[in-house]
């Protein structure tokens, strides 16, 4: 169930500007970067992937036209929102556990420099219809692709990175004495988990993160929406998992790394750093019980948005409001609903499963300000209610008003919970 199938869906809202700090292998979202002045690095656009469970970031399947082994440059960054957790030490290594955190994974494109990408970043995508070409396609093919979509979609090729924001519990391990130990530790844990826990086809994902101090930490997260419960199980069976990983890594007879021990297709970005002996050492570092030394308070993004800014900000405000209060995100913007009598109305946001429409009046002031339009809106919304939709209405300015925004969320929660309950 892709957002893009919703009528009136505008994929441009999924494009964000980011900066790639090549020297430190970090990606910074432009809003973060602007706070601390100019961010050194390569600016690029990235298209957010929605409801795809990370598949395009690394999996390969028989359905793909070209089953080639392409290594992608995927960079993880921790977004500032989470519901708190705890920090302390496990073995000799610092750990942090964050509830309901956001991990952003940005796929900058193939690691090979032989792509046609102008800045060496991204995939050629029509951001209007979502069609794409291989980044290895010839310049002539990309030119042809661009022309075709310019005619039909009104916009040529954009070279965009692809990103997904994973919402998961996170276990962060590190920094270790040696930065390379971070990836070896989490890959080794992944091996142990598969042997000890009944994971079925579920798996914990591993990544590394560059912290602000440029130190590397290992990250374990759960790619299942809503969580598969593997992370709490891992902590519970920590000792057994470490022991199983040790046995598996010691049993191999390769010199440093091979596909029987630490290497797999998904971790090829880290093949240079993976080494079964380093992994065994990293396991020794993290062998011990979790000693939490302090709680991490929940962190929400403080939005400092200019209240006088135009209506175009309303979507940003509404999204930020939902995120801050840990609400599920709407699954369509500018959602068209057909009404009785052959007419239709366009809701600014829709939660299609819960059947909730959100109208933010003032998104286009001249239309909504006029009394005749207000009467029409009222009738259209009544018709939508008659079809089983719940309707929530707000003015754009009210989204920035803490009291009114809270009232809006109270109302929205009732409609969303009603569905969750059954």
Smallest gap, in angstroms, from Cβ of residue 170 to Zn ion? 28
Smallest gap, in angstroms, from Cβ of residue 256 to Zn ion? 8
Smallest gap, in angstroms, from Cβ of residue 144 to Zn ion? 13
Contacts of 283 (CB under 8 A, 6+ apart): 185, 188, 242, 245, 246, 249
Of 129 and 407, the one with the shorter C-beta distance to Zn ion is 129
Smallest gap, in angstroms, from Cβ of residue 282 to Zn ion? 16
Of 149 and 323, the one with the shorter C-beta distance to Zn ion is 149
Hey, is 52 helix, strand or coil? Answer: coil
Question: Residue 129: phi, psi to the nearest 5?
Answer: -110, -15
CB 84, CB 44: distance < 8 Å: no
Of 75 and 261, the one with the shorter C-beta distance to Zn ion is 261
Q: Which of 31, 5, 50 minimizes the C-alpha distance to 163?
A: 50
Say if residue 277 is preceded by a cis peptide, omega within 30 of 0: no
Q: What angle do CA 235, 233, 244 make, to 5 degrees?
A: 75
Of 260 and 325, the one with the shorter C-beta distance to Zn ion is 260
Pairing of strands 158-173, 42-48: parallel
Smallest gap, in angstroms, from Cβ of residue 154 to Zn ion? 8
Of 34 and 129, the one with the shorter C-beta distance to Zn ion is 129
Of 99 and 141, the one with the shorter C-beta distance to Zn ion is 141
Positions in the binding site for Zn ion (CB under 5 A)? 126, 128-129, 149, 153, 252, 254, 258, 260-261
Smallest gap, in angstroms, from Cβ of residue 130 to Zn ion? 7
Rounded Cα distance, 84 and 300, in Å:
10
Of 258 and 309, the one with the shorter C-beta distance to Zn ion is 258
Chain centre distance of CA 275:
29
**In a 10 Å sphere around its CB, with 0-12 CB exposed, 13-18 middle and 19+ buried, how is residue 181 labelled?**
buried
Beta-strand ranges (E) seen in 50-178 are: 72-78, 85-90, 93-110, 123-125, 158-173
Rounded Cα distance, 47 and 123, in Å:
10
Chain centre distance of CA 378:
37
The two three-digit tokens of residue 364, written as one number: 């286009």
Smallest gap, in angstroms, from Cβ of residue 268 to Zn ion? 15
The two three-digit tokens of residue 362, written as one number: 């003032």
Of 138 and 259, the one with the shorter C-beta distance to Zn ion is 259
DSSP for 311-354 reads TTHHHHHHHHHHHHTTPPPPSEEEEEEE-GGG-EEEEEEEETTT
Smallest gap, in angstroms, from Cβ of residue 30 to Zn ion? 25
């Amino acid at each position: 169930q892709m957002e893009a199938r919703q009528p009136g869906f505008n994929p441009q809202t999924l494009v964000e500007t980011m900066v790639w700090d090549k020297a430190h292998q970090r990606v910074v979202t432009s809003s973060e970067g602007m706070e601390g002045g100019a961010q050194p690095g390569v600016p690029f656009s990235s298209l957010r992937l929605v409801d795809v469970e990370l598949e395009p970031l690394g999996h390969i399947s028989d359905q793909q036209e070209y089953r080639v082994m392409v290594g992608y440059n995927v960079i993880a960054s921790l977004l500032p929102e989470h519901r708190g957790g705890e920090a302390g030490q496990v073995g000799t290594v610092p750990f942090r556990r964050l509830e309901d955190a956001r991990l952003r994974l940005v796929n900058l494109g193939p690691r090979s420099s032989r792509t046609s990408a102008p800045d060496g970043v991204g995939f050629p995508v029509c951001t209007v219809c979502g069609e794409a070409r291989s980044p290895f396609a010839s310049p002539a093919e990309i030119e042809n692709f661009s022309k075709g979509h310019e005619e039909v979609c009104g916009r040529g090729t954009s070279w965009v990175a692809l990103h997904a924001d994973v919402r998961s519990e996170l276990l962060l391990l590190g920094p270790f004495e040696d930065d390379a130990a971070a990836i070896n530790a989490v890959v080794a844990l992944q091996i142990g988990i598969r042997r000890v826990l009944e994971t079925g086809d579920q798996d914990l994902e591993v990544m590394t993160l560059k912290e602000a101090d440029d130190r590397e930490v290992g990250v374990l997260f759960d790619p299942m929406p809503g969580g598969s419960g593997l992370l709490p199980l891992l902590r519970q069976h920590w000792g057994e998992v470490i022991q199983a990983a040790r046995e598996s890594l010691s049993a191999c007879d390769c010199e440093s790394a091979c596909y029987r021990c630490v290497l797999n297709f998904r971790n090829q970005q880290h093949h240079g750093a993976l080494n079964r002996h380093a992994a065994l050492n990293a396991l020794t570092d993290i062998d011990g019980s979790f000693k939490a030394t302090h709680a991490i308070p929940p962190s929400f993004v403080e939005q400092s948005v200019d209240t006088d800014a135009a209506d175009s900000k309303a979507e940003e405000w509404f999204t930020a409001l939902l995120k801050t209060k840990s609400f599920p995100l709407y699954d369509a913007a500018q959602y068209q609903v057909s009404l009785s009598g052959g007419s239709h109305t366009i809701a600014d946001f829709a939660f299609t499963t819960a059947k909730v429409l959100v109208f933010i009046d003032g998104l286009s002031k001249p239309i909504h300000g006029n009394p005749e339009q207000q009467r029409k809106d009222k009738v259209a919304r009544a018709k939508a209610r008659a079809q089983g939709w719940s309707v929530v209405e707000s003015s754009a300015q009210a989204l920035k008003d803490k009291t009114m925004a809270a009232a809006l969320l109270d109302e929205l929660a009732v409609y969303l919970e009603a569905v969750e309950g059954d």
